[in-house]
Structure 1
């Protein structure tokens, strides 16, 4: 028995998150045949110049290797950016550093900001919601977070046929409640256990296939039957998307559109490598907004376009709106559509993240955006993000991070790691697949910009939560059993169930990590001023640290709420343009 214990101890003591992140950069990204075809040759040169440092063993008790995923993807972004800087500016970047502890904060950045922080630099892991809503307009028209009962609409429940279904309230829980015949609210239910019970009882009377039909086809709500990694691969949809790495790039040739970069500004240089790049952001929630925030961090000018009549997840804006102007347009009016057309005609990148097909009816689908600039000498990069992927029979469905996690088998894997039986899934706590899809989108866009500069024409870029989760499941995978057992034991070996949703899990995990982890270091945070909201916000520093500040990630524009700015590009793309 002693030799077995010794071998387990050896496996744990020899494990290294930084070393594994470095390996994954090469094997799972740069040399991955599903991804390598889109990687510029210069990107490989930079991999050996990236230094990984950080704590060897994981701090977060989740079986999937989120830390390695975040660190290797950020390093991959640095490699792709190196290729762009070398081609556009003829500048040779000497190196970069990725701290793997710091990188883990990236996928929880919406949870750990602090408004007007104390001068003692104490890291506060709870946000001041009242103060936030004083600065950011509240677009929660349906009060989705107003009761525990409404929060329990978004949860995983066992169905009549002994499968599991992830019900989702999206930004209006009423259609999902109507789909299962439950009332619009139950404010009398005061505890999580009380609030979950009506859903546990109701879903137990509905077969999973019927629930899928109701959610996807009748009530048009997000929702999915939970799969394992293997069962998802075997589905028609899984097979249709199995060839995709992190993104797909499709050329849209146009002989009149010549090879070109974007127009330069006085600030355009390797230091702010995307300065002058105009990006239209037609997105909500996390994944697609994380793409445009990532472009803004590298210097791009981003105009986010929303509607004054459209529900939005306002609590996310403080984190995801850095670097973005915000205008409101009503696309049901010709005036609103014309203003958006004018913005797009001067842009180089458009990112959309609404339910597939929604923007097409207004003329702003992926092909419609390309057609808007067909007579322009410079092509455009038209980007679409969804949950399920853009091939196969489920591409039309709406979805969220939790839906993708359940669909691809990430949630089932988490439940199994905690010892649950019969493939019982548990959402793995953090919006990891959202934020990682953001990095994937940035890398895909950088690759498309380089192709436009070399080939001319326009390009379509497809990204999806499932594309990232497929890569996580197939290429990154779970911790070795001994390493997982070690981090789980260090955090009390708590077991959670399918009906413990993110709102239930997050505060419990933040407490565990603060107590037992090593990732909340003051040096990973910075204070940023936003003139638009009149506050200083302590939040996470950019993850990639380039040698000698050859590239300086950061934001030209402070965070702000919807509709703060005019629907026009300012003369000075580095200004705090306010309507």
Structure 2
């Protein structure tokens, strides 16, 4: 698990070459991962070509560019394996442009509607989105002013540790925990707004704050760790042997036979490899929706299920709801639960990403999902769950987010150190990288489950976690050698951020730096225009699919236009094979 050697220079370093090395060694030859990789995928790896710039575009010390490029290459290998098994088609090869790949984890930040510029994260887009038909589910006004955003941030504690609070989509419980008012209209700037939280946390110990946040207020929050100190925690040790995901076959009585979907979708072809596959999406925000969007890109039929009573990050729907129908069900009612059970009983995959245990009380835990199809002998189901910390250890049931995972696994401490901050002062590494990468990992895991299910039958459990990805990143991918980091950081202005600069503060500044110092956003071949009739026929310019297959045997696109919550009826369309963009 060694990082790139520190002797590398800017003239000798190559992001494409390092991405290829990671594919071959950190993924396909990784004993924690390769057990779930079919031999056809291993064989296809030699047909993947990496192209693009030798140096990364983003000024982050962790090797995000190589990470996303190698994971997208593994996804291409898994697609090739499925196409070979299901359709007996040998794909010629695939190209991964590493510059294009870096846009994948910032795709929520760069879309435009009818060519109007956008800035995510401060509620500035919601008037425009409501005009085109995306309802605003920000019931708790999480982005309404700078003060409320400070509920999600890193602060120094009384015992000289750092603690990452996360207000989620309702900052009030976090403010209550700190004994602060929910609103401070007298504070107008971020610099003013952050001071009350700084002062309150400075008078609390890290242990006291962890107890209050976790046990009393049931909110997300964690003591910031380094890579090494996290590995020594009970949680780190409990999940140390996990790869990017965990996949389990479930034997049911009666036994589920080998894949119904695999055998019955006779009208499909390798052009849309997952056509006819039915996926129920019970997720919010980024990681879970990125999993199901990845399956939709391959032709799967995805039904996103939300609640009219549950807060959501509506601005993300433009990016993450491509390829999905969207219905609204109130699980507090028997009618809502019955409609969801009906959808699941006719589904092939279910993905859930709410806080662990939330759906269990309604009868929709991972095991309960499988029980719903126990009397369906023609096929089992793939039940997917995603969380922050991993599914072993004492933190497994805690609420968590991308920033929380970055904080506890050492990502944030490493970023702060790379910028020259002392005493392990952490800084969240700008982009929602672990969210989007978990999306790729989830799609890879589902492809693996489908291939195994077609051979052996049964149902499958697939466990994902933001920490699983971050543990792989810190262990197998690592940071840039110092000369490379210094060059990229210098090129982007060498701006230093501090621990109390949350993503709401850093992202607009980073995007500005990148627009001024790189041409990444000017490369037309990395973008495409998509029309969504569900949004009144508007044109959305957004990042196109990253994988480029050499031939046209596989087409990556979306059959259904993006949309907001509750747009559709909770039923599967009569003809899932019809490729009509709605």
Q: TM-score, normalised by structure 1?
A: 0.96
Is residue 522 of structure 1 aligned with residue 524 of structure 2?
Answer: yes
Aligned mate of 1:38, from 25, 36, 49:
36
Aligned to 2:466: 465
Aligned to 2:544: 541
User: 1:247-275 CA distances to partner (integer Å, 9 max, x unpaired)?
Assistant: 00011112521111416446521110000
User: 1:287-343 CA distances to partner (integer Å, 9 max, x unpaired)?
Assistant: 000000000000000000001111111111110000000000011111111110010
Aligned to 1:550: 553
Separation of aligned partners in 2, 1:256 and 1:20: 44
Q: Which moved more, 1:130-139 or 1:419-428?
A: 130-139
Separation of aligned partners in 2, 1:52 and 1:129: 38
Aligned to 1:449: 450
Separation of aligned partners in 2, 1:164 and 1:80: 40
Q: Is the 8 A contact 1:527 1:538 kept in 2?
A: yes
Aligned to 2:299: 299
Q: Cα–Cα, structure 1 residues 565 and 267, in superposed 2: closer, same or farther, change >3 Å?
A: farther
Aligned to 1:4: none
Aligned to 1:313: 313
Counterpart of 1:498 in 2: which secondary structure? coil
Aligned to 1:334: 334
Q: Is the 8 A contact 2:150 2:502 kept in 1?
A: yes
Aligned to 1:218: 216
Q: Which moved more, 1:147-156 or 1:258-267?
A: 258-267
Q: Cα–Cα, structure 1 residues 441 and 9, in superposed 2: closer, same or farther, change >3 Å?
A: closer
Is residue 130 of structure 1 aligned with residue 127 of structure 2?
Answer: yes
Separation of aligned partners in 1, 2:175 and 2:270: 51
Q: Is the 8 A contact 2:226 2:414 kept in 1?
A: yes
Structural mapping, 1:62-461, within 5 Å: 62-117=60-115, 128-134=125-131, 135-254=133-252, 255-262=254-261, 264-265=264-265, 268-377=268-377, 378-461=379-462
* C-alpha displacement of 1:42: 1.2
* C-alpha displacement of 1:518: 3.2
Counterpart of 2:90 in 1: which secondary structure? coil
Counterpart of 1:251 in 2: which secondary structure? strand
Gap runs ≥5 in structure 1: 1-6
Q: Is the 8 A contact 2:152 2:168 kept in 1?
A: yes
Q: Cα–Cα, structure 1 residues 177 and 513, in superposed 2: closer, same or farther, change >3 Å?
A: same
Separation of aligned partners in 1, 2:275 and 2:10: 45
Q: Is the 8 A contact 1:212 1:223 kept in 2?
A: yes
Q: Is the 8 A contact 2:526 2:544 kept in 1?
A: yes
* C-alpha displacement of 1:130: 2.6
Structure 1 ranges of 4+ moved more than 2 A = 7-10, 123-130, 263-267, 574-578
Q: Is the 8 A contact 1:267 1:276 kept in 2?
A: no
Q: Is the 8 A contact 2:533 2:581 kept in 1?
A: no
Q: Is the 8 A contact 1:117 1:538 kept in 2?
A: yes
User: 1:15-58 CA distances to partner (integer Å, 9 max, x unpaired)?
Assistant: 00001001100111011111011111111111110111001011
Q: Is the 8 A contact 1:114 1:128 kept in 2?
A: no
Aligned to 1:19: 17
Separation of aligned partners in 1, 2:169 and 2:297: 28
CA-atom RMSD in angstroms: 1.6
Say how many residue pairs are matched.
568
Separation of aligned partners in 1, 2:266 and 2:555: 16
Counterpart of 1:538 in 2: which secondary structure? strand
Q: Cα–Cα, structure 1 residues 538 and 385, in superposed 2: closer, same or farther, change >3 Å?
A: same
* C-alpha displacement of 1:179: 0.5
Q: Cα–Cα, structure 1 residues 189 and 272, in superposed 2: closer, same or farther, change >3 Å?
A: same
Counterpart of 1:514 in 2: which secondary structure? helix
Gap runs ≥5 in structure 2: none
Aligned to 1:478: 479
